[in-house]
Amino acid sequence: MAGAPTPAIAVLLQGKIPHTVRTYEHDPRTTAFGDEAVRALGQDPERVFKTLVASVDGRLVVGVVPVAAHLDLKALAAAVGGKKVAMAPVAEAERSSGYVAGGISPLGQRKRLPTVLDSSAAGFETIFVSAGRRGLQVELSAADLLRACGGTSAPIAGH
């Protein structure tokens, strides 16, 4: 990887957390970022996770779910002890995380937010999440991801 690491990769390096960086050519015309990562990496869409930002009772919360699923907003709210929930506006998610949509990583965000990883991640030896830029993914274990972002695990994916 040329240049300085993204904040997400820097967190993994500083924490000496085992990971593998995977790059692919991002098509600037695509808006289906998770599907693009799945295709480019040749991976199961249940094993590649997308990072979504929601507002729960007025505070931002991160939900990390498989590309093949959608974020169950009520389940996310319940996982963080909240009630009123909605997806955060893209501009707010970008401002809070320091990343652009399609490259938002659960790691190395500008403001550390409560993060919930879908419990299905535990079924894989490793999973893929954004490494902080479109066309850049990081492969690591779910346990290491949770440790690195201070997150929790709960069933938050809907199919």
pLDDT score, position 5: 87
Question: Residue by residue, what is the 3-state secondary structure of 75-98?
Answer: HHHHHCCCCCEEECCHHHHHHHHC
Enter the DSSP assignment of 5. Answer: P
CB atoms within 10 A of CB 86: 10
Sequence-ordered strand ranges (E) for the chain:
20-23, 49-56, 59-66, 70-71, 85-87, 115-118, 127-133, 136-140, 152-154, 157-158
pTM: 0.94
What structural domains and CATH numbers belong to the chain?
Answer: 7-158 (3.90.960.10)
Q: Return the residue matching tokens 């993060």.
A: 115
φ, ψ for residue 10 (rounded to 5)? -60, -40
pLDDT tens-place string over residues 99-137: 998 899 999 999 899 999 999 999 999 999 999 999 999
Low-confidence ranges of the chain (pLDDT < 50): 1
